[in-house]
């Protein structure tokens, strides 16, 4: 069996969540089939497994039906049509990974942009996602919540219709594939690491870790505002942001990152008790996870929260780090009920400071190792990806109905405005620098 996987993002030394996910899927499926994994030009991904063939995105003949007929099926992210042109009638079964409802992130990301940029970016992303929903034969989601969101989109755009969704057909469209935890035990990975910490972190520090990036739909500002109160009770506390500059060069530094750095400087804690790294390489994150006392993930009260699956939390689970989290999403609810996370009020530095101080006070007394063992077993990549291996043996192309073909025609008239000109783009860059 031959499977093609379109790499979701930069993969290799530096990876964010999408790159980690496509890498993990390729590695897992290589035990069952010959896998071809495409990658962008800035990836430095390597595999020791001969069952994974690497191919540059530039060398994939994306629009050619003959190219795709070399494979039994393909897996691509829901944003793939933004980057390349795919055949109108994709000739092999297409699995679309919609684990990340990114159009909801864009609502927050684009809200204060110049209208010409906001409307162009929002509508072209929305059109691309609808195109992939109409093209796909099976869909990967993280939970029932995300499935419900995309069921709504599919019903509105004719993917679900009297032909495709009668009886139990709609249930067969989805596989629930949450984000996973590294299969190798954390202690084993740490023993193989270089164990080096950044120069501004020592083993004696009470490290509060913010894994992942500083994105505009998140709320790192509140934990920065909480730091003076935390330091009053725990003077050795250090807040470490593992990255603010996305490893994908096409993703700009977001406004939230600039705001956080400015806030830290004004507080007098910048590079003293609040530390920022541009991005932490994949392997270098292991010593940081090992020394961290608490993992933090906070977000704004926003529509995106309900349908999110915070991938940064999986490293906290892997390393067994107690967490302070905003609520409102399916994973935070599970972790809080398991006893490994404290849920705090949105945009409430006092609530955050109290929760962090509480966990630091009892960090050496908490007996939650068995709970983390159970969570790791539940979320191991090998466990969560098993349904894809089961699907691979009998996946078939779904015959598209006249309803879907009709909606494809409607999409040709989708009102995406012209791309913003250089002047509008330049003004936006200047505004960002002035913030």
Quick check: is 18 in a domain? no
- The pLDDT assigned to 279 comes to 93
362-409 pLDDT per residue, tens: 877 678 999 999 999 999 999 999 999 999 988 988 877 777 878 888
- The pLDDT assigned to 304 comes to 86
- Tell me, yes or no, whether 80 and 156 share the same domain: yes
289-330 pLDDT per residue, tens: 999 999 999 998 888 888 888 889 999 999 999 999 999 999
Give the residue among 276, 308, 314 at the shortest CA–CA distance from 295.
Answer: 314
- Tell me, yes or no, whether 259 and 158 share the same domain: no
Quick check: is 82 in a domain? yes
- The pLDDT assigned to 331 comes to 94
- Tell me, yes or no, whether 133 and 221 share the same domain: no
**How many domains, in total, are found in the chain?**
2
Quick check: is 40 in a domain? no
Phi, psi (deg, nearest 5) at residue 95: -100, 120
- Tell me, yes or no, whether 319 and 264 share the same domain: yes
Q: Which residues, in sequence order, are CB contacts of 230 under 8 Å at separation 6+?
A: 208, 237, 353, 356, 357, 360
CATH of the domain at 336: 3.40.50.2000
pLDDT band at 249 (very low <50, low <70, confident <90, very high): confident
Quick check: is 220 in a domain? yes
Burial of 337 (C-beta count, 10 Å sphere; 0-12/13-18/19+): exposed
- The pLDDT assigned to 162 comes to 85
Q: To the nearest whole number, what is the mean pLDDT of the chain?
A: 91
Separation of CA 175 from chain center = 17
- The pLDDT assigned to 431 comes to 58
pLDDT band at 158 (very low <50, low <70, confident <90, very high): confident
How many Å apart are CA 264 and CA 407, to the nearest integer? 50
Quick check: is 14 in a domain? no
93-123 pLDDT per residue, tens: 999 999 988 888 888 888 888 899 999 999 9
- Tell me, yes or no, whether 243 and 95 share the same domain: no
11-47 pLDDT per residue, tens: 999 999 899 999 999 999 999 999 999 998 889 888 8
| Residue owning tokens 């920022």 | 276
Q: For residue 425, is pLDDT > 70?
A: no
CA angle (98 as vertex; 82, 143 as ends), nearest 5 = 165
State the number of CA atoms in the 13 A half-sphere of 38 facing the CB. Answer: 20
- Tell me, yes or no, whether 111 and 151 share the same domain: yes
- Tell me, yes or no, whether 151 and 249 share the same domain: no
DSSP bridge partners of 241: 210, 276
How many Å apart are CA 239 and CA 292, to the nearest integer? 10
- Tell me, yes or no, whether 140 and 170 share the same domain: yes
* Maximum C-alpha span of the chain: 66
Distances (CA, A) of 209 to 15, 238, 277, 295, 330: 17, 8, 12, 5, 21
Distances (CA, A) of 248 to 15, 195, 327, 435: 8, 26, 28, 23
- Tell me, yes or no, whether 324 and 406 share the same domain: no
Quick check: is 276 in a domain? yes
Mean pLDDT of 155-169: 81
- Domain span at 333: 186-381
- Tell me, yes or no, whether 288 and 360 share the same domain: yes
- The pLDDT assigned to 432 comes to 57
- The pLDDT assigned to 318 comes to 97
How many Å apart are CA 225 and CA 156, to the nearest integer? 42
- The pLDDT assigned to 427 comes to 55
347-356 pLDDT per residue, tens: 999 999 999 9
Residue 32 contacts residue 297 (beta carbons within 8 Å): no
- The pLDDT assigned to 3 comes to 97
265-285 pLDDT per residue, tens: 999 999 999 999 999 998 999
180-208 pLDDT per residue, tens: 999 999 999 999 998 888 888 988 999 99
Quick check: is 19 in a domain? no
- Tell me, yes or no, whether 159 and 226 share the same domain: no
- The pLDDT assigned to 57 comes to 94
Give SS3 for 338. helix
Q: For residue 428, is pLDDT > 70?
A: no
Give SS3 for 185. coil
Percent of residues, the chain, with pLDDT higher than 70: 96
Quick check: is 48 in a domain? no
Supply the pTM of this predicted model: 0.91
Residue 422 has a CB neighbour count (10 Å cut-off) of 7
- The pLDDT assigned to 398 comes to 83
- Tell me, yes or no, whether 267 and 339 share the same domain: yes
Give SS3 for 290. helix
């Amino acid at each position: 069996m031959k499977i093609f996987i379109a790499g979701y993002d930069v993969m290799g030394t530096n990876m964010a969540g999408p790159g980690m996910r496509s890498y993990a899927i390729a590695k897992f499926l290589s035990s069952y089939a010959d896998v071809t994994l495409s990658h962008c030009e800035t990836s430095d991904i390597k595999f020791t497994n001969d069952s994974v063939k690497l191919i540059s995105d530039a060398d994939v003949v994306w629009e050619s039906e003959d190219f795709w007929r070399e494979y039994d099926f393909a897996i691509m992210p829901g944003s793939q049509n933004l980057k390349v042109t795919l055949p109108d009638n994709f000739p092999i079964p297409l699995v679309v990974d919609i684990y990340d409802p990114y159009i909801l992130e864009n609502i927050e990301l684009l809200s204060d942009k110049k209208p010409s940029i906001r409307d162009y970016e929002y509508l072209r992303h929305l059109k691309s996602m609808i195109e992939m929903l109409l093209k796909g034969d099976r869909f990967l989601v993280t939970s029932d919540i995300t499935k419900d969101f995309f069921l709504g989109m599919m019903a509105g755009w004719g993917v679900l219709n009297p032909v495709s969704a009668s009886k139990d057909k709609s249930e067969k469209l989805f596989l629930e594939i949450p984000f996973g935890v590294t299969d190798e035990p954390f202690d084993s990975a740490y023993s193989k690491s270089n164990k080096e910490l950044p120069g501004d972190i020592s083993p004696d520090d009470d490290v509060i870790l913010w894994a992942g990036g500083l994105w505009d739909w998140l709320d790192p500002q509140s934990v920065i505002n909480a730091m003076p109160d935390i330091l009053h009770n725990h003077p050795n506390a250090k807040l470490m942001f593992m990255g603010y500059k996305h490893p994908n060069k096409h993703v700009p530094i977001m406004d939230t990152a600039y705001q956080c750095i400015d806030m830290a400087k004004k507080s007098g804690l910048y590079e003293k008790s609040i530390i920022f790294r541009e991005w932490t390489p994949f392997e270098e994150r292991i010593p940081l996870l090992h020394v961290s006392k608490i993992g933090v993930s906070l977000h704004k009260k926003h529509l995106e929260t309900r349908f999110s699956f915070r991938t940064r939390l999986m490293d906290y689970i892997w390393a067994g780090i107690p967490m302070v989290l905003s609520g409102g999403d399916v994973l935070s609810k599970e972790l809080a009920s398991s006893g490994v996370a404290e849920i705090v009020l949105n945009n409430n530095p006092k609530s955050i400071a109290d929760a962090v101080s509480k966990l630091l006070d009892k960090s050496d007394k908490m007996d939650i190792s068995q709970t983390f063992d159970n969570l790791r077993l539940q979320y191991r990549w090998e466990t969560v990806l098993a349904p894809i291996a089961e699907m691979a043996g009998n996946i078939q192309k779904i015959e598209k109905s006249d309803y879907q073909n009709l909606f494809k025609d409607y999409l040709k008239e989708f009102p995406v405005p012209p791309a913003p000109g250089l002047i509008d783009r330049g003004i936006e860059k200047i505004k960002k620098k002035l913030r």
